[in-house]
Each structure stands twice: as C-alpha cells, then as structure tokens.
Amino acid sequence: MAIQLAPGDALMIIDMQNDFLPGGSLEVPGASALIPVLNRYIAHFQQSRLPVIATRDWHPPDHCSFIEQGGPWPPHCIAGSAGAAFHVDLALPADTHIVSKATARDTDAYSGFSGTGLQESLQSLQIQRIFVGGVATEYCVRNTVTDALRLGYAVIVLEDAIQAINRQPGDSGQALDDMIAHGATLTQFQELAA
C-alpha cells in the first residue's frame, strides 16, 4: 500500500551512532546496512521539505546503564566521544533536529521522549505522523515508537531501516509485534509514493 508524505510528517532516525555500528563498543549486528536505506528516506523527506529528527544516546562516563555501574551494557555513546558521533556516512541534513537522551547519570532512557523535550519540538513543528528507523529495534526504537503512539502520534515503522541486537533469538519479532499491537504500522521504502 503506497503511502503519500504530507505536511505534518517527520522522519525520526534512532541512535545511528558509531558505538552501535561495526567496531563500536555496543555493535548492533548488521546496522551498517541501514545507512544507505536511511539516506534514501532522508533524501525523500528533504525533497518533500519535511523535518528530519535524529535521537542519540549522550551518556555521562558513569551512566547507570553501564556494566561498571551495575547496568547491562558496556560503556557506549559517552557525550562528546567519537563513539557517540553519528556515523559519517549518514547524510543528516544541516537542519536536523538532534535529540540527546539518557544524559543524566542515574536515569536510563530508551525512548527519545524520555526527559528530552522531543514532545515539545514535535508540537512546535506541528507533527502528527512519525516515520521511524534506526537501532536497536527492541530497545530504543520500540520504546520511542510506543511512547509516540501513547502521546497520540500516528507511527510508521520503516521495516527495511531498523535492526535488532537480538540478545535472545526472536527479540526483533517480539518488538515488531509489540509495536503493531500498540498501533504502529510497518512500511518499506518502495511503498512511499513518489
């Protein structure tokens, strides 16, 4: 089913940072394959003069999600580090709205809405429908999508532009089922009407 972009739409790219890509401290297997796909979406949204939003983990060095602090993850995306930078091949436009999350030492934030001001930004841009891609499907993508749905946005998950960590086999499928159950729809690039 073709989807026509319209005013009120925005593209949201989740956490396409070096630490989540090959060679990073918390690599999402296969994440580098998303970059050319996301770049096609970015170009399509720019052509339509629609906003692009990019979330990023922006952690303090002693963040609570890190193993040393009792969390589940190796240190990653420390604010200002090379690992926290967006991948150089990701063609983010100069006017991308950047959202930094999990910036406080003692709070984790898998959702782009968690303590970030993202909701206020979307309201000021008069966004009603969000197209979401990035990593990782079962963590930051799922939490951002379900929060957006709870806040009343229509959400379309870019199935060809997300990737899971899959610590447990099937995590990816469960996350997709969960997002659909909350009201998200799935699409792929060829379904976006030119």
Q: In the annotation, is 140 catalytic?
A: yes
66, two tokens: 């890190």
CA distances from 121 to 35, 41, 138, 148 (A): 25, 21, 24, 13
Which amino acid is residue 99, in one-letter code?
V
Coil vs helix vs strand at 155 = strand
């005013």: which residue's tokens?
7
Task: Determine which one of 9, 19, 57, 140 is catalytic.
Answer: 140
Task: Determine which one of 9, 19, 77, 101 is catalytic.
Answer: 101
Q: In the annotation, is 77 catalytic?
A: no
Is the sign of the CA dihedral 30, 12, 110, 156 positive or negative? Answer: negative
Q: In the annotation, is 15 catalytic?
A: yes
Q: Name the CA dihedral angle for 138, 175, 52, 122, rounded to a multiple of 10 degrees.
A: -100
Task: Determine which one of 15, 19, 57, 147 is catalytic.
Answer: 15
**Is the peptide bond prior to 175 cis by the omega test (within 30 degrees of 0)?**
no
Catalytic center residues? 15, 101, 140
